[in-house]
Chain A
């Protein structure tokens, strides 16, 4: 009944050939994108016997949470068998300070570049942006040396510093572009009102910029959580983040492969960014679109 009621903007009938093709294409693509998530979930809920005889796309006959428990607390990396939980907590301990420091530094730098330019500030900004295009491999070893000189190599704080450094170009760009778009007269009014560099930053700019902080935060949470390379290079095995530990668990050559445990572990590792993604929705999109398009 409702389907045939004309709808203001769309004069086409619901089942026009155009719509069938359009939605058909969308659904087919959706299947490609959803398939891995589905496979991960069903595999992680089966036991090994069922996996061996069955089909990876079939739903579990008997749901078991044993693989999840095992992945979290018993899976082995090398000789350690205390599961992914250790990697999870390492990642949390890396994430929180990295997030706070990298976002603060980027916001402050963006503020300088947008509101308090000085002679040469644009040049430094240009250099910083170039940094975004330097392959990490070029800087891997120099950073090892810098961290060693600072006595931070192998520690969590070393990794925090590395994340802050590599996050700077894109986040500074993001903040700068956002702050530049704030009305300039507001900034002038605040100066006439006697607010200085910090006063304007904390009292005027930050309260107006919540969305961009969220956006930058989202980029940082997913980026830091998903990092693999820096985790491998700059931390010792006992500090390995979750991604590194996950890879070690799944790709370890010893022992019988437990695919259900592997998929549970994989899902567990993907959970944090997925939760961030699903809850932030539009802001996530806005962040990547803003960071990319305005560039």
Chain B
């Protein structure tokens, strides 16, 4: 009886939905997170950025009012400017420094593991810890400034965390310290992926090492650079903890960043509509960076 039934089952295609059932059940978290949280949450935020929600979200449409207000808020403008400056400088320096360190480590050196461990360990630390240490080192009364003045250079001034014009530099020093290790590792993996024979060939051709890097190696590592770029960029947009720990946005509002603006607007100033508009702008920024990249990836795949 049962074998007869099985024979019949084997002859007939199973119902579409039930085919691969365990797999579909196991995919439920992914579907919920993807559709429910990522897509649903994003749409929800965008929709509510067109309302006048304050303490609680509500659907009272006000068109682009929130955006107009946002772009006439000085604090937001400062945040955007800071993010742009920090972003560009940190991007360039992280990539250069990361590649430079990777190239150094790739020169068949001794103690490679030790050096790599040293360059990468800050990446294991949180931005809070990073920010607090550098806040201490950059402390004008006890830190670098005071030490150098103590050496006899009494006119020496370096107090980025207390100087609105320099505060971004303070953030950069800490941010680079924490983040370059990651890029170095990625670049190193890219360098290691390059065929040894390429090096032999350039050696035979008598091309100097620095030139080999620029003419041969870097062009070959384009995908690695792109990955690193995307990683760094998406990290920069999220910049928040470091600022909170190092400066709390100060002095004044000179080191505010968008992520902090959103948090403060949503949870301390309880101006939800404004916060949603600001976070939607962050999303737009990311999209502007990502869409060309995604398009590039897509086109490469099609070829």
A, B in one complex: yes
On whether the beta carbons of A138 and B104 are closer than 8 Å, the reply is: no
* Contact, CB under 8 Å: A128 / B282: no
| B147 contact set on A, CB distance < 8 A | 55-57
Please give the distance in Å from A172's CB to the nearest CB on chain B: 7
Determine whether A274 belongs to the interface, using a CB cutoff of 8 Å to chain B. Answer: yes
Tell me the residues in window 235-260 of chain B with beta carbons closer than 8 Å to chain A beta carbons.
237-238, 240-241, 244-245, 248, 258-259
In the complex the two chains form, is A22's CB within 8 Å of B109's CB?
yes
Q: In the complex the two chains form, what is the Cα distance from A172 to B280 in whole Å? A: 26
With A39-B137, A139-B38 already in contact, the answer to whether A259 and B142 are too (CB < 8 A) is yes
Residues of A within 8 A of B276 (CB): 141
Q: Which residues of A are found within 8 Å of B130, using beta-carbon distances? A: 36
Known: A141-B266, A292-B186. A197 touches B38 (CB 8 A): no
B22, B104, B119, B129: residue with the most chain A Cβ atoms closer than 10 Å: B129
Q: Given the complex of chains A and B, what is the CA–CA distance between A146 and B218 in angstroms?
A: 46
Chain A residues within an 8 Å CB radius of B224: 293
A270 within 8 Å of B (CB atoms): yes
B41 engages A143 (CB within 8 Å): yes
Stretch in A60-68, A71-79, A103-111, A183-191 touching the partner: A103-111
B30 in contact with A109 (CB, 8 Å): yes
Name B5-58 residues within 8 Å CB distance of A.
19-20, 22-24, 26-27, 29-31, 33-42, 44-45, 48, 57
Main secondary structure of the interface of A (DSSP, over half): helix
| Residue B101 at the chain A interface, CB threshold 8 Å | yes
Which residues of A sit under 8 angstroms from B127, Cβ to Cβ? 226, 228
How far does the Cβ of B157 sit from chain A's closest Cβ, in whole Å? 17
Distance between B245 CB and nearest chain A CB, rounded to angstroms: 6
CB distance from A240 to the nearest CB of B (A): 12
Q: Which residues of B, 55-77, contact A by the 8 Å Cβ criterion?
A: 57
The 7 closest A-B pairs by CB, nearest first: A226-B126, A142-B41, A131-B38, A116-B23, A197-B22, A277-B124, A127-B34
Known: A109-B26, A143-B41, A146-B36. 6 other contacts (CB 8 A): A108-B29, A135-B237, A145-B57, A250-B245, A263-B133, A293-B189
Which chain B residues have a beta carbon within 8 Å of chain A's beta carbons? 19-20, 22-24, 26-27, 29-31, 33-42, 44-45, 48, 57, 101, 104-105, 107-109, 113, 115-130, 132-137, 139, 142-143, 146-147, 150, 177, 181-182, 185-186, 188-190, 224, 227-228, 230-231, 234, 237-238, 240-241, 244-245, 248, 258-259, 262-263, 266-267, 272, 275-276, 278-280, 282-283, 286, 290
- 30 chain-A/chain-B pairs, Cβ below 8 angstroms: A22-B109, A26-B109, A30-B115, A33-B181, A34-B118, A40-B133, A43-B136, A55-B146, A105-B29, A108-B29, A109-B26, A135-B237, A137-B263, A141-B45, A141-B48, A145-B44, A146-B36, A146-B37, A165-B33, A168-B29, A225-B126, A263-B133, A266-B129, A269-B126, A273-B124, A285-B116, A292-B228, A293-B186, A293-B189, A293-B227
